[in-house]
Each structure stands twice: as C-alpha cells, then as structure tokens.
Amino acid sequence: MSTLKAVRGTRDLLPPETALWNRIEATARAVFARYNFGEIRTPVFEDTALFARGVGEETDIVSKEMYTWEDRARAQSEKTQSLTLRPENTAGVVRAYIEHQLGETGQLQKLYYIGPQFRRERPQKGRYRQFYQIGAEVLGPPSAGSESPLRDAEILEMLATLLDELGIAGWTLHLNSVGSAADRARYNDTLRAALSLVVSQMCVDCQRRAVTNPLRVLDCKVPADQPIIEALPVIAGSLDEASQAHFAAVTAALDAAGVPYTLNHRLVRGLDYYTRTTFEFTHGGLGAQNALLGGGRYDGLSEMLGGPKAPGIGFAIGLDRLVLTLQAQLGQESAPPQVADAFVAPLGESLNAASLVLARELRHKGLWIELGDGGFRLKKSFEAADKTARRIIILGEDELQSGILTVKTFSTGIQTKVPRAELAVFLSS
C-alpha cells in the first residue's frame, strides 16, 4: 500500500524547530501588548463573496489561488454555500468589525492575529500553500483618528521594533503611497496612455496587463522590460494634495522616530483594497520570495463589504519566512537541544507507579522531567537519559524506603546521594 504524505505545499512543523516558532509568536504577542493591541481569532473559512468583494475578483489571489468549494446543504433548511479557506485575514477582520458593530464603541480597534492562510501557489522556498501569518489591523470611525498618518507611522515603527527585538538583521522597509481610489483611477489612465506607446516591446504578460490591470505592469520581473518600466510615469505624480500631505506626514513621523525606509514607487501590492500608504519589509537572505511582510491602508474596505466608514491600516508578516530568515542567521543555535533537568529511572516495573509520583512531585515544583520505564534495563535507561536530560535519578526499592536518591550528573560524571526533600533544589542548581 502506498504511504500517505502531507499534501504538496503543506508541511509538518516538528520540534525542535517549533521552539523557534513559539519564541517568535511570544515576542510578537509581547510587543503587540505594549502597543495596546488585543487578539482576534476569526474562522479559517468564510463565505467566498467576502474575498471576491474584499480582496478583488481581478487579483491573482481570488482569480487563481483560492481553495473554494460548494458546501452542500445537510438539511432542507440549509442552503448550499460557496466557501473558501482564507487566503489572507484582513477581509475576515473587517467582516468581524462590521458584524459585531465594533465601530459603535467610537474607539480605534487594534487587533492582531496569528494563524494559517491558504493559497494555491506554486510551492518553492518561502512559498507554501498553507502558510502562517502574524498580522495586525487598526481601524475605526474617522472620529477616532483612524485616518491619521500617525497611525501609519506607529504601525511601521512597531514593525521595526518587532523585527529588531526578534534579532532580524538587515531588513529594508519599502514605502509608497497608492493614493485614494480617485488618484489611482487617474494614474491608471495615465499609465494606460503611456503603455500604449511602448507595450509592443514588452513581455506577453505585460501586454495582457496593460489592458486588464496596468498597475500590475509595475510587478514585472523580466529584465528586458525594466528600463521601459523605469521610464513610465510614477504614481506620486497622480496623487491629489490631500494624499500627498498624508504621505508627507507619514514620512516626517518616521524620520522623527529614526525608522529608515526606501521610497519605492513601484510598490503597488497585489490586493485591491489598498489606498494611500503601502509597504513591504524585505530581507536579502530570502531569495526570490524576499517579502518578509506586507501591508498598507484600506480606507474603503469596510464600505466595500457593506459596513460603515472605517478607515484602517494593517500588515501581515509571513511567519514561515521570518523563521527561514532567523534560522539562516542563527545557524545551529536556532535548534537548541531540548534537554530535561532530570530523567527518572525506575528500577523494575514494580517501581513505575512510585516513579510517576516522584516525577509529579518534581514537575509541580517547575522542573522539567523525563520519565523512563521500569521495563528498561539500567543500561538502556542510562542511554535514554543521556540523550534527553542533564541528570538521571535512580529509583529502586532502597531509595524509595530510605528517601535518599542517587543522582548522576552527566556533564561531570559525579554521582550524588540526595534526600528526597532536597531533590528539587539540587536539580535546579
């Protein structure tokens, strides 16, 4: 019989690698708490219409990459429904904001999430079909200050702090403004006109994009097209005064806080909901998939989903890519051997229950204990203990009766007799 394997583009995360995942998640939670964010958990599947309307029908994500199925009715009272595994979480957060009328509080909502996302992309290093994001969103009624450029700068400053605290060396913040919906419509016209003169010299993908979605031409990676793209009009030239002032205020606050950035007028992002500030943090060590995280402002998304006006800004970090970057940086250190404080070795099966009691006693005192088995010969217990713990505690009939235990420390080879009442203190030393 053929053996079953994890599906292409998905993978198992195993110890000790998961220790690094946990450390990153704990650091993110701690940083978000300092900026007064709370956690939101939304379902991993949603009504397909949420992504079609939120992310945009024309985007690669919605047109080619979603895991969508017809969920059959199980009763007369139910309807068949088209459902989709979430390809991203911003649309879900905004749906929850509308559904729970969070805008009624009059306060800014500052929400973060950690969880799996699903896209049917071609798998390669740093690109998976089930991947994980750590993201956050700040949104609320305009009266709560949700449109303020200070929100954008604060989010970017928080990201710089998080990456620095994680020890990610050498990140680059790419920053742009894609303007309001009206600015972008104007830019699309300008770009279409400019492209009509040069597109015949460009790659076939660009020839298609020039017609369907001219902004996507800016994502083209074909070397021969680059000089042509560099000569095209830039989006900054199509921003109205309000959008220009907003962006200038974002960069001024970043300058004041000392957060470095690179202006990148080609950064238009692959989701339709963006307005004004857009950004990505890249890292050179990642190869082709070099975006560690991406995000931006989405001032019209709530209305697109039938909700009240609720401007917002957010980001999502590719957790898989963060782990790859840290692993490359830390080398072997990223997988510290997991070693228990002690291994309890019962001498014979009749001492198994007493060993469980001893292990329980020590674990309740906060020690990290590996429990052997009385069915093991002593030699086998020693071998297992040497691989998993710093010390071995032998529990035989004599030790149980006398309350004096024999402890061997592997690093020194020294064997010590320790009274049971002093064992926890001895093992902590």
Q: Which residues contact ligand HAM by CB under 6 A?
A: 88-90, 119, 121, 126-128, 131, 133, 135, 137, 271, 291-296, 298, 314-316, 318, 320-321
Nearest-approach distance from CB 321 to ligand HAM, in angstroms: 5
- β-sheet bridge partners, residue 421: none
Q: Which is nearer to ligand HAM, 210 or 286 (CB)?
A: 286
Nearest-approach distance from CB 23 to ligand HAM, in angstroms: 18
Strand 342-346 and strand 369-371: the pairing is: parallel
294, containing H or E segment: strand 291-297
For residues 8 and 129, the answer to whether their CB atoms sit within 8 Å is yes
Amino acid at the residue 402: S
Q: Which is nearer to ligand HAM, 95 or 321 (CB)?
A: 321
Q: Which is nearer to ligand HAM, 20 or 359 (CB)?
A: 20
Q: Which residues lie closer than 8 Å to 148 by C-beta, 6 or more apart?
A: none
Q: Which is nearer to ligand HAM, 292 or 305 (CB)?
A: 292
Rounded Cα gap, residues 310 and 324, in angstroms: 35
Helix orientation angle between 241-257 and 149-166, rounded to the nearest 10 degrees? 40
Rounded Cα gap, residues 59 and 271, in angstroms: 6
Q: Among candidates 175, 91, 100, 97, which has minimal Cα distance to 135?
A: 91
Number of other residues whose CB lies within 10 A of the CB of residue 237: 11
Q: Which is nearer to ligand HAM, 272 or 399 (CB)?
A: 272
Nearest-approach distance from CB 135 to ligand HAM, in angstroms: 5
Calculate the CA 243 to chain-centre distance. 29
Q: Which is nearer to ligand HAM, 130 or 244 (CB)?
A: 130
Nearest-approach distance from CB 127 to ligand HAM, in angstroms: 4
Nearest-approach distance from CB 93 to ligand HAM, in angstroms: 8
For residues 347 and 374, the answer to whether their CB atoms sit within 8 Å is yes
Nearest-approach distance from CB 305 to ligand HAM, in angstroms: 14
What's the N-to-C CA distance of the chain in angstroms?
52
Q: Which is nearer to ligand HAM, 91 or 392 (CB)?
A: 91
Nearest-approach distance from CB 267 to ligand HAM, in angstroms: 11
Rounded Cα gap, residues 95 and 75, in angstroms: 26
Residue nearest ligand HAM (C-beta atom): 318
